[in-house]
Structure 1
Amino acid sequence: MPTMSLQTLSLRALLFLGLWHTGRRSLASAPELQHQPKKIAVVGAGIGGTAAAYFLRQEFGAGVKIDVFEPGTVGGRLATVKIGDYEYETGGAVIHPLNLHMKHFIERLGIPPRKDIPSKMAIFDGKELVFEESNWFIINMLRLLWRYGFNFLRMQMWVESVLDKFMRIYQYQQYGYAFSSVERLLHAMGGDNFLTLMNQTLEEAMMGEGFSQVFINDVVAPITRVNYGQSVRINGFVGATSLAGADSGLWAVDGGNKKVCAGLLYNSKSELIPARVTSVSVKVRPSKTGNTASFYEVNYLGESGSGHALYDIVVIATPLHQGKSEITFPGFSPPIPSHYPGRYHQTVTTLIHGKLNVSYLGTTEPASEFSVSEVLTTDSKGCVINSLSALNPVHIPDGYKQRSASHTKVWKVFSPKPLTQEQLETMFLSYDTVSETPWLAYPAYRPPHRKTPPFILHNRLYYLNAIEWAASAMEMSAISARNVALLAHHRWHQQAGKIDQEDLHMRLRGEL
């Protein structure tokens, strides 16, 4: 990793060591204000919805009732499956060391990170391994230098420069600033540079920075394929997010990343309602003062039939897109669409308990010596899979060691379509268990960037998943959850000065 500037280090140290251990409401949130909302609904109990419940509790205090609607399992796209004696991650798998919200969550909840098991990576072009990591760092660096010059080091520096701008959002949020649109939030992070990245492909952005086409095809494309199942023609911002996901120091949660969602839900003292929300509409009711008050009626369908309830504030934390949601919004003016433009990209996760056929990868290395645990693939016609990786359980037992490919173990394959029997038999010498999970995991990212859906659907109706059209990741959902909670708070209490304000340093000087 390139050396960070002292200024960057001090900012990160301040954010992480100082402010993130407080666990209390943001410095700029007002003390208990009169006339708090009585009831808030959150629709969806994935990382976005459960983080929203957690942050809404921080902003509005103990008096408000928070209901979280979820027809499926808590965790959403964070999920595990049991094979044999162990559970394995099938959904969102890795967290970046600079993801401060996720770090804060596990510290607050008392959940440890998973033990780290060293791994080796290789790149497969459909016929053979074009790159295989050595156990020796210096040999890896020499190979990369020989083949790609300084492209690899420059890529790390480029990603670091994007991350440094990205980190600004934590300071804005710590001081209670919120943004009314994804574009404004991105602009606060990285100025026009981030908006430009959204409107060009990763390939265009990197070619513009002087990276070679060979490097983009051989190294960058395999990373975007494993992280987003898509080529280097995704937008530059989500592409940079994807490349950050290839950094060192990535981690996961002991027992499965979905444990964070369950922990946030418990910590927020919310009520989980196991039901599917079918519609949200506005209802006007008389109030004690003789005036009228407006509420949102949430209609839902649970195991015991249909029901409805009135709420002061509603947060939609599930994607309003074809195949992801069937919530309607009758009677709104202007109308709120039940589906926004664009589509979600399918990635199929297949877990196979079996013995890998290493000759499928074109290697002559004996299986007993093949210790690669992560195989990425290039964007070539011969590649029917996006990646192949040896999985470790979500909880690493004492004495556990990653074994060579000559042993039967659990492998995870990402592919755009379900694997056929023939493909499985080509890839594996033998297998006894196959578990297949089709995910509409993240948007299909095709620049130029259309205007993202709004965070604010109506006066007190918010849409958390708008952020995914910039980039889909656990931390992006947590950032959006914090932003939506702050937006809901400031708009309820008419604190317009806390919304869509940039130049944080100037403002802080005035406040302090």
Structure 2
Amino acid sequence: MYLSAFVLSALLLCALRPGAAEELHQQPPGRIAIVGGGIGGSSAAYFLRQKFGKDVQIDVFEKGQVGGRMATIDMDGAEYEAGGSVLHPLNLHMKSFAKELGLSVRPCRNSLAGIYNGNEIIFQQSDWLFINIIKLLWYYGLNYMRMYMWGEDLLAKFARIYQYQSYDYSFSSAEQLFHALGGEDLSIKLNMTLDDSLQKAGCSKKYIDEIVTPAIRHDFSQLPRINAFVGALTLTATYTKLWSIEGGNMLVCPGLLEASEAQLIKGTVTSVQENTGGIEKLYKLGYETSTGPHLGIYNIVIIAAPINKEISNINFVGFSPPIDTSSNSYIQTVTTFVHGQINSSFFGFIEPCQLGLTDILTTKNPKLFFDSIGLGDPVKGPPGTLQPTGQKVWKITSPDPLTKDQLNLLFTSYHAVSAKKWLAFPQYNPPGKLPPIILHDQIYYINSIELAASGIELSALSAKNVALLSYHRWFGINGQIDQEDLVERFKSEL
């Protein structure tokens, strides 16, 4: 009798050991914490509510403004996008969010871009598509078509993620996700520079220097040494009609938090540690609000902000092995809005000629102090709306704040300047290992995917993957995690 009781107790203790507890979950978790109220955190709250149901308490911690790196800036009474400003037609989660939340969408203005090499405009778009095609063929031969086919092939592979997620498949690492989408080809592009990948596809060095480099400088303040995957996502956006949310893309975030019925806690998360001693695995979150330090207990923790010490500085206490917070550095980008008259002569035009371009992108040149300059559009009203003065508002991206002398070079006159400094993007240095998605048994990291590619839709996709992954792991549904044969499986079912 005593032996039977001993064996029964031993089996029970074995079943309750860390790792086996996942198999015993019959009910949803009681409390889920999400650290970060940007698009990653807010969409995670939305997807977690869909999966785990109405009885789970979801707390979202945000130390600043909801929206994160999607933010607007005030310029003479009008709001302009200072962060993530445009969306791709294939951004299906953002399209769905806008529809679900009743937000209006609008097309972005037609762009008329020029490429500036520090001395002159070396390529200038026309209003006529046919003329642009002739120009590209004349200057660069078939390079544009090679880039187009290269980018579309990669984009088609990545778009499989929507089908996978519609069937609730999830992935425990970014590497597993990308391999399931595109096999070795997509994995290779994560570890190859954009420059090398495009040259391998047949693009000339001249085309990369004069057309590709300006696009990458504009979007990421970097050069084509970034990985080929994030480069492809950027370049495919250069030949399609982009869109945005009326009133600002950041409106999606508070809308998703409201739809998820999550509780927003305005505070800074300072520490995460295991709550040891009990049968159930729990985590203690230390955080500070305006009323002082606090402590919360949670079943699942979702990190939806970079764990890089430069940005979040969360202390992960007592984990073995330690949770690595030494991920890649983030690039500083300064977005400056100037309400004034641009100096056309700086770009090689003869004054008093009006600048006929809406965007100026730049090649690599050590003497250039900015990456791009473009006509700003208020987030409300038709694209191309001017300020009441009739003067234009220009948006400038640069690695450092612009000095007064630099502003005087770019503008003949101006009467308002507003700037925002960001640690906006990871420093892409392929090849490199991506951070884990699973930081601990029930701690998940949405921003792992950001080291492969950064963007609004990428954050939403990663948030849904984490929501699905945490759900499947909580209930032990292993058949929905890390399935490698999905491409062939879906082909056979069609």
**8 Å Cα contact 1:114/1:396 also seen in 2:** no
How has the CA–CA distance of structure 1 residues 381 and 407 changed in structure 2, closer, same or farther, with 3 Å as cutoff?
Answer: farther
TM superposition shift of 1:307: 0.4
The residue number in structure 1 matching 2:342 is 356
**8 Å Cα contact 1:322/1:343 also seen in 2:** no
Q: Partner letter of residue 355 of structure 1?
A: Q
In 1, the alpha carbon distance for the partners of 2:490 and 2:411 equals: 59
Q: Partner letter of residue 499 of structure 1?
A: I
The residue number in structure 1 matching 2:304 is 317
TM superposition shift of 1:341: 3.0
In 2, the alpha carbon distance for the partners of 1:150 and 1:105 equals: 38
Aligned length: 469
TM superposition shift of 1:119: 2.5
- Structure 1 SS opposite 2:457: helix
CA deviation profile, 1:394-438 (whole Å, cap 9, x unmatched): 0115xx74569x952211110111111110011011111111111
In 1, the alpha carbon distance for the partners of 2:489 and 2:238 equals: 35
Q: Equivalent of 1:304, from 291, 303, 307?
A: 291
TM superposition shift of 1:371: 2.8
In 2, the alpha carbon distance for the partners of 1:121 and 1:335 equals: 48
In 2, the alpha carbon distance for the partners of 1:328 and 1:143 equals: 54
TM superposition shift of 1:284: 3.2
TM superposition shift of 1:246: 1.4
The residue number in structure 1 matching 2:333 is 347
Q: Equivalent of 1:228, from 220, 227, 230?
A: 220
TM-score, normalization by structure 2 = 0.92
Matches within 5 A, 1:136-285: 136-284=128-276
TM superposition shift of 1:120: 0.9
TM superposition shift of 1:322: 2.9
The residue number in structure 1 matching 2:356 is 371
**8 Å Cα contact 1:117/1:402 also seen in 2:** no
The residue number in structure 2 matching 1:3 is none
How has the CA–CA distance of structure 1 residues 501 and 401 changed in structure 2, closer, same or farther, with 3 Å as cutoff?
Answer: closer
Q: Equivalent of 2:320, from 326, 330, 333?
A: 333
In 2, the alpha carbon distance for the partners of 1:428 and 1:401 equals: 20
How has the CA–CA distance of structure 1 residues 510 and 209 changed in structure 2, closer, same or farther, with 3 Å as cutoff?
Answer: closer
**8 Å Cα contact 1:124/1:376 also seen in 2:** yes
**8 Å Cα contact 1:228/1:242 also seen in 2:** no
Of 483-492 and 406-415, more deviation after overlay is shown by 406-415
Tell me which stretches of 4 or more aligned residues in structure 1 moved more than 4 Å. Answer: 400-404, 505-512
Q: Partner letter of residue 310 of structure 1?
A: I
Of 352-361 and 243-252, more deviation after overlay is shown by 243-252
Q: Partner letter of residue 415 of structure 2?
A: D
The residue number in structure 2 matching 1:24 is none
In 1, the alpha carbon distance for the partners of 2:384 and 2:465 equals: 41
**8 Å Cα contact 2:115/2:361 also seen in 1:** yes
In 1, the alpha carbon distance for the partners of 2:351 and 2:136 equals: 21
The residue number in structure 1 matching 2:100 is 108
CA deviation profile, 1:31-73 (whole Å, cap 9, x unmatched): xx94111110000000100011111001101110100000100
**8 Å Cα contact 1:126/1:380 also seen in 2:** yes
**8 Å Cα contact 1:315/1:462 also seen in 2:** yes
How has the CA–CA distance of structure 1 residues 511 and 499 changed in structure 2, closer, same or farther, with 3 Å as cutoff?
Answer: farther
The residue number in structure 1 matching 2:369 is 384
- Structure 2 SS opposite 1:114: strand
CA deviation profile, 1:232-271 (whole Å, cap 9, x unmatched): 1111111111212313211111100100111111111100
- Structure 2 SS opposite 1:284: coil
Q: Partner letter of residue 347 of structure 1?
A: T
Residue 445 (str. 1) matches residue 432 (str. 2): no
The residue number in structure 1 matching 2:399 is 416
Of 71-80 and 34-43, more deviation after overlay is shown by 34-43
**Which structure 2 segments of 5+ residues have no match?**
1-24
Q: Equivalent of 1:57, from 49, 56, 74?
A: 49
In 1, the alpha carbon distance for the partners of 2:239 and 2:266 equals: 38
- Structure 2 SS opposite 1:453: coil
The residue number in structure 2 matching 1:482 is 464
Q: Partner letter of residue 414 of structure 1?
A: T
Computed over aligned residues only, the root mean square deviation of the Cα atoms, in angstroms, reads: 1.8
Q: Partner letter of residue 234 of structure 1?
A: I
In 1, the alpha carbon distance for the partners of 2:381 and 2:357 equals: 19
In 2, the alpha carbon distance for the partners of 1:413 and 1:244 equals: 22
How has the CA–CA distance of structure 1 residues 506 and 127 changed in structure 2, closer, same or farther, with 3 Å as cutoff?
Answer: closer
Q: Equivalent of 1:429, from 412, 416, 432?
A: 412
Larger Rg: 2
**Which structure 1 segments of 5+ residues have no match?**
1-32, 287-291
In 1, the alpha carbon distance for the partners of 2:285 and 2:109 equals: 45
TM superposition shift of 1:115: 4.5
CA deviation profile, 1:206-248 (whole Å, cap 9, x unmatched): 1111101100000000011001110011111111112123132
TM superposition shift of 1:508: 5.5
The residue number in structure 2 matching 1:289 is none
Residue 35 (str. 1) matches residue 17 (str. 2): no
